[in-house]
Amino acid sequence: MKSKDWIIQLPRDKIAFFQWIIEAYDGLAQFRTIDPYKAVVRLMVPPGNELDLEELISHLIEEMGLEISFIYKDL
């Protein structure tokens, strides 16, 4: 099965932190920066990891106050 693409935007100064968190969960998603100036990143989510990634992002938003906006979410 094909990975799903999620495009998100977050504060520029949080890109490295967000990448570090995503990569700490080995295999959860691949991370690519699309536009470092607008802080737009692409997550390539393997099938079956969508719920886990959604929960992680929700936790980062609610518990850590990280501002994350979805631009595109391949369903």
pTM: 0.91
> How far is 4 from 37, CA to CA, in rounded Å?
24
Tell me the two tokens of residue 29: 């998603």
Return the amino acid letter for 21.
I
Domains and CATH numbers, the chain: 4-73 (3.30.70.330)
**H/E element, 34:** strand 30-35
Looking at the predicted structure, is the pLDDT value of residue 72 above 90? yes
Residue range 22-50, pLDDT digits in tens: 999 999 999 999 999 999 999 999 999 99
* Whole-number pLDDT of residue 75: 76
